[in-house]
Each structure stands twice: as C-alpha cells, then as structure tokens.
Amino acid sequence: MIYTATYSPEDNKLRLYPSARLDAETYGRVKAAGFIWAPKQDLFVAPMWTPSREDLLIELAGEIEDEDRSLVDRAEERADRFSDYKESRIEDAQRAHDAVHRIADNIPFGQPILVGHHSERHARKDAERIENGMRKTVQMWQTARYWEQRAAGAIHHAKYKALPGVRHRRIKGLEADKRKQERNKQEAEMWLKLWTECANEQDKEHRRRLPFASLACAIYTCHARKATAKTFSTPRAPTTPYKAVIRISMHPGP
C-alpha cells in the first residue's frame, strides 16, 4: 500500500491519496480523524488542517507534500462534472417530453374523457401518464439548472479564494490561531510547573495548602491576561508580582 499526503494552503485542506482500498482498521482511523472519501477524485479529504490529522498522514505517508493542483484547477474539474450532470438531466427531460408528445398525438385535440365508454379506462391512463411525464420534464429541467448554477458557483468561489485580500485575511487568521495556541501552551506549562512543585513538596504542611496554590495560579493567570491586554494602551506592568500572589494565597487563613 502506497500513500501520498498533500496539503493546500489555499483551502487549508489535507488530502490522502491511497494506491488501493484501505483495510478496515486504517479506514476507521482515517474516518475518525475527520477525513471524507471523495469518489470522483479518488481520495480522502479533511475539511481543515489539525495537528492530529497531520500526525496521522505523516504516520501513513511519511511526509506531507504540496498539493499540485490549485484551487482553480479543482474547481474547473468540479465544473466539468457538474456540466456532465446538467447534460444528463437535459437528456432525461427531453426523453420525458417526447414520451408525453407521443401519447398526446394519439388523442384528438379537445377530446374529453367519455365517461362510461369502453375507452374511459385507457383515456384516464393516458392522462395520468401525460401528467407524470410533464412533471418529470419540469423536474429534470430544474435539476439541470441547479447543476449549471453549481458549475458557475464552483469557478466563482475558486476565483474569490484567489483574491489577494482574501489570502491576506486568511494569513491573519492563521497567525491569530498560532498566537492563541502559543498562549495556551504557556498557560499549560505554567500549570504543570506549579503542580509539579507542589507534588514534589516534602513538607506536609505545604502539601496541605495545595488548594491555595491552585487559587494562586488562577489569580495570576487572570492578572497576567489583563496585563497583556493593557500593553497596547499603557506600558505599566502588573502591580502584583507572581511570588507575592503565591505567598498570599498559600497562607492557610483562620
């Protein structure tokens, strides 16, 4: 089994190209990671990049390559498929329309259904076939129109994604996500350091004060975030140092 993994920054999607059908275990892992099978493209695609999805593709393929086809290229392929669907629906509509005409041509113009006549049953059947045929014709024409709009929309969406302004906003969004993850990492490291120090404390009296240390860490985290938010308006640093907060909160109280 040969796997090829790619990433496209244009749409922020990961793609997996397997050389053969996946076994049950691998398919379950790929599906659980959020990948969806695209039969027309013969690949698995994830709606967006995540660290866990990247790790899975690296495990399967060894590395993640750049996507060769651009967003516009893939959109043109989708538009071609949609155009094929449209042509098929137009052919279905034409066949249904011709079938209705063949039935109607055998009925004299303006001929009503003769109630009680031996032709009544056949006439009602013809009327039902004509109604169903016309309904199918209209439905096929509407479906053809739908696929025509989908084809135009695919091209329009791809060209919109390629605009410089859209790409600039996408980069800004990625940078904001990166800063958020870095803040979460720093906060997690701070919590880990605090709890490690508390766990390694040999003094039983200090270990008894563990809940107060947790409170101190929460106070410091909140205070640090507020101070970070104010750095754009004032250069002043937080007024309560970290160790002072720890000492205050570690006090057992009355």
Looking at residue 70, what is its pLDDT?
Answer: 67
* Residue 100: alpha-carbon gap to chain centroid: 44
For residue 19, what is the DSSP state? S
- In sequence order, what are the residues at sequence separation of 6 or more whose Cβ sits closer than 8 angstroms to the Cβ of residue 216? 245, 246, 248, 249, 250
Domain match, 63 and 77 both: no
Looking at residue 204, what is its pLDDT?
Answer: 60
- In sequence order, what are the residues at sequence separation of 6 or more whose Cβ sits closer than 8 angstroms to the Cβ of residue 73? none
Question: Does residue 174 belong to any structural domain of this protein?
Answer: no
Structural domain containing residue 114 = 73-161
Q: How confident is the model at residue 225 (pLDDT cuts 50, 70, 90)?
A: low
Mean pLDDT of 220-236: 49
Looking at residue 32, what is its pLDDT?
Answer: 93
Domain match, 23 and 82 both: no
- In sequence order, what are the residues at sequence separation of 6 or more whose Cβ sits closer than 8 angstroms to the Cβ of residue 210? 198
* Residue 144: alpha-carbon gap to chain centroid: 27
Question: Does residue 177 belong to any structural domain of this protein?
Answer: no
Average pLDDT, the chain: 76
Identity of the amino acid at 79: A
Domain match, 85 and 56 both: no
Question: Does residue 172 belong to any structural domain of this protein?
Answer: no
Domain match, 78 and 43 both: no
Domain match, 62 and 126 both: no
Nearest Cα residue to 41 out of 5, 7, 13, 16:
16
Report the C-alpha gap between 14 and 28 in whole angstroms. Answer: 17
Q: Give the tens place of pLDDT for each residue, 75-134.
A: 777 777 778 788 888 888 888 888 888 888 777 777 777 787 777 787 788 788 888 888
Give 254: exposed, middle or buried? Use CB within 10 Å, 0-12, 13-18, 19+: exposed
Nearest Cα residue to 89 out of 127, 23, 137:
137
213 touches 248 (CB < 8 A): no
Give the residue with greater pLDDT, 34 vs 220: 34
Question: Does residue 178 belong to any structural domain of this protein?
Answer: no
Looking at residue 231, what is its pLDDT?
Answer: 45
- Measured between its terminal Cα atoms, the distance across the chain in Å is 68
Question: Does residue 206 belong to any structural domain of this protein?
Answer: yes
DSSP run (H or E) holding 25: helix 24-32
Q: Give the tens place of pLDDT for each residue, 154-208.
A: 777 777 777 888 878 888 888 888 899 899 999 999 888 877 877 776 656 555 5
Helix 24-32 with 51-61: angle, nearest 10 deg: 150
Can you tell me whether residue 10 is helix, strand or coil? coil
pTM of the model: 0.45
| Domain-ending residue, one of 146, 161, 176 | 161
Q: Give the tens place of pLDDT for each residue, 42-79.
A: 889 998 888 899 999 999 988 888 777 766 666 777 77
Domain match, 207 and 146 both: no
Q: How many CB atoms lie within 10 A of CB 217?
A: 21
| Domain-ending residue, one of 108, 129, 161 | 161
Domain match, 79 and 106 both: yes
Question: Residues 76, 78, 84, 87: is their CA dihedral positive or negative?
Answer: negative
Can you tell me whether residue 63 is helix, strand or coil? coil
Looking at residue 160, what is its pLDDT?
Answer: 78
